[in-house]
């Protein structure tokens, strides 16, 4: 008969010591960078900010009609790449060809070094914008109007009152499935 021998004093598998808890909250942007960086690098956007900050870099008009796909660098070279830019219409592509020097200047100015030397335009559809998909808030019912007015009675600053009233209307007027929306 073989008996199992257990030695409670024998150490188990070695474990890494637990990382000290910070106890501090961290900004989402600080945490998400570690998640998104490998994805952007795989897509040729090692500088992920070119995708996430595109509207800030080029302005709302150009951003509405274009989307950076990747930046291709020559082997062994980390600067002076080619920005591959998808545009949604031929007229926009023609305009961006004329604005290429300014576009390159804006991108490089944003990064603080010569990240891009040239731009290649690819004409094709852009993914739908998320902000276009949001429905307008529904009109408030009379009892909701009275409740909102009652909550804002103590606010004396007219600008603050108008801002809070707009926020209140939007929050209370959000459409739900009960309102008949999908």
Q: Strand (E) positions, 36-138?
A: 66-72, 81-87, 116-123
Q: Tell me the domain boundaries of the chain.
A: 31-129, 135-179
For the chain, give the longest Cα–Cα distance. 90
Environment class of 82 (CB within 10 Å of its CB; exposed 0-12, middle 13-18, buried 19+): middle
CATH classification of 31-129, choosing from 3.30.70, 3.30.1120, 3.30.300, 3.40.50? 3.30.300
Kindly report whether the global pTM for this prediction surpasses the value 0.85: no
Q: Which residues of the chain have pLDDT under 70?
A: 1-49, 77-78, 130-135, 175-182
pLDDT at 180: 43
């Amino acid at each position: 008969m073989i008996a199992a021998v257990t030695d409670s004093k024998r150490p188990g598998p070695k474990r890494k010591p637990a990382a000290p808890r910070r106890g501090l909250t961290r900004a989402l942007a600080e945490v998400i960078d570690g998640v998104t960086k490998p994805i952007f690098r795989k897509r040729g956007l090692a500088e992920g900010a070119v995708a996430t900050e595109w509207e800030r870099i080029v302005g709302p008009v150009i951003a509405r009609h274009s989307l950076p796909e990747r930046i291709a660098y020559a082997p062994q070279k980390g600067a002076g790449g080619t920005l591959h830019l998808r545009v949604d219409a031929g007229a926009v592509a023609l305009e961006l060809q004329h604005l290429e020097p300014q576009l390159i200047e804006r991108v490089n100015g944003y990064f603080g070094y010569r990240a891009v030397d040239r731009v290649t335009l690819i004409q094709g559809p852009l993914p739908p914008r998320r902000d276009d998909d949001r429905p307008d808030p529904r009109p408030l019912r009379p009892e909701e109007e009275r409740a909102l007015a009652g909550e804002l009675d103590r606010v004396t600053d007219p600008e603050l009152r108008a801002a809070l009233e707009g926020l209140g209307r939007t929050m209370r007027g959000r459409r739900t499935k009960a309102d008949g929306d999908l």
